[in-house]
A and B are shown apart, each in its own frame.
Chain A
Amino acid sequence: MSLSTETTKYLNNLCRKFRIDLIQMLHKAQTGHPGGSLSATEIITTLYFEKMKVFPENPESPERDRFILSKGHAAPMLYLALAEKGFFQKEELKSFRQLDSILQGHPCVKGTPGIDLSTGPLGLGVSAAAGMAIGNKLKNINSYVYVIMGDGELQEGIVWEAAMSASKFKLNNLIAILDNNGVQLDGTVEDIMPMLDITKKWEAFGWNVINIDGHDVDQISEAIDSAKQSIDKPTIIIAKTIKGKGVSFMEGKNIWHGKPINNEEYEKAMAQLEEDEK
């Protein structure tokens, strides 16, 4: 079912707001990862504000859909979504990456309401997600497990170990979304370690594969609806995205994987994002 015009507008407005909040948060912190947060904005926003069943007042409800940010460095965008959703006070965002904060550099399941798995070392998320999907089946819980991966992350061997298992155990309640932004820390994925035909790779591992534009909330929503129709296969939604999306001088640039934002860059980014908001 396609989104209503109002819903599409609502989600896009949230994404604009989150991009502004993200730049402010990372500029203040002088640490954190802007590039991969900006590329995942629409994916995270559509999941939390349209598709997922979550309970901010009871974050650990067994009935919840689970969300795993396997590319844990995009934590700032996830924190913005969780705060907006009411999992914790927005005030907490100011303490990101600082001592005594509930908001660690990478997601931490113990300290932060709404986080379902500690991530950071790449590749672990999809493996744990497969375990959760089996766990839900054993417990007769009809919820979904969502996991966002990066494309550089696909270079980790454990991703493919997990891909085999998810297929073998017929985890149709597992929906992976690939933030396919084409850029990793050291350069483009093409230069560092080409992943060649990702669609064929996942199909060969027994997954249902859907290709979309990862900045189009309607396409994201429809892809998830389609994934839920899978009878006995896990699904990966390969979402073409742009690293640093929304801030022109960050777009497609690997240096913006994890660089602090200086004052000049901050002003320039904010001017662009505020212009977009009008």
Chain B
Amino acid sequence: MKKAIRDAYGETLVKLGATNKNIVVLDADVSSSTKSGLFGAEYPERFFNVGVAEANMAGMAAGLASCGLIPFINTFAAFMVLRAADPIRTLGCYGGANIKIAGAYAGLSDSYDGATHHSIDDISFMRALPGMTVISVADAIEAEKAVEAAVEIQGPVYLRLSRAEHPYIYDKNYKFELGKGVVLREGNDITLIATGYMVSKTLEAADSLENQGISAKVVNIHTIKPIDRELIIKCAKETGLLVTIEEHSIYGGLGSAVTEVVCSSCPVPVEVIGIDDTFAESGDYEKLLHKYGLSSEAITNRIMTFVNKFNAAR
């Protein structure tokens, strides 16, 4: 069973909008892609399409927030970060505006549009902003819970959302706790820490590793900031080796966040798996992930190499 993250996102906005009249939604001419248009169809008086003007969308959202409204702003993650960066930093974070920033088509999920539309630097930027909460969701259920959580948080929140269909990891009873990682699978030899779509890929990789005699713990870090230090340190102590897996540049994302924690508190080897220092290209999404090292097969191979290196040294 699979469901597209963007559908879950749009449907949740509609659901919440029915009872919470303070929710307003803005989009920069991509509402049929981001699915914010579902909200617009239901509540046209609370939906504002600002045209292809991402920076102004974020600026207006800060103004709306100052009137007690809860604006969700929507565009592709790539343009959210690069075009709306200034109002997000200055008005959202420095000004403490209660804005919710939905970065659609994150990672390589807008695969065919190519590197201009991929977003592999958004976590890095958002994480560096004081006061920003950064959430990256792993399936449609988590998307729904994360949107609900974002409404409750007072202050700017970045929601990293994929275009793609994701297999269900959770069921309706899943309790989303902001800032708390989720252990999805127990294991003794190594901990695999993933976020977003890579959680599914990592669970598949853990199955393959088990067949090769490696017992891997799998953790979903949905809240990249503030990160679950306690859980990461516990995993480092228990399994000694860590691997992070993200659909993002190896610079500044989940891998950086995890290494920042363990370096000071419990130094263990950490293998950071993500997009290396390169732009990707157009192509089929799953094939693209494989070429750039993020298919379950590619992840498994990287982890085997990493484990063998340290086992040989022991």
Contact = CB atoms under 8 A, between A and B. Distances in A.
A131 B59 contact: yes
Contact of B56 (A119, A134, A165): A165
A162 B95 contact: no
B50 A133 contact: no
B76 to A, nearest CB: 17
A127 B50 CA distance: 11
Interface of A: 62, 66, 108-110, 116-121, 124, 126-136, 138-139, 141, 145, 157-158, 161-162, 164-165, 168-169
Nearest to B59: A127
B67 A138 contact: yes
B59 A135 contact: no
Main secondary structure of the interface of B (DSSP, over half): helix
A121 B60 CA distance: 15
Contact of B50 (A116, A118, A165): A165
Contact of B91 (A66, A128, A135, A169): A128
Interface in B29-63: 45-46, 48, 50-51, 53, 55-56, 58-63
Contacts of B214: none
Contacts of A109: 66, 95-96
B67 A62 contact: yes
B107 interface: no
Contacts of A145: 63
B64 A135 contact: yes
A134 B62 contact: no
Given A157-B55, A161-B50, 8 more contacts: A62-B67, A117-B91, A126-B59, A127-B56, A132-B63, A138-B46, A162-B60, A165-B56
A58 to B, nearest CB: 15
B194 interface: no
B216 interface: no
A116 B58 CA distance: 16
Contacts of A164: 50-51, 53, 56
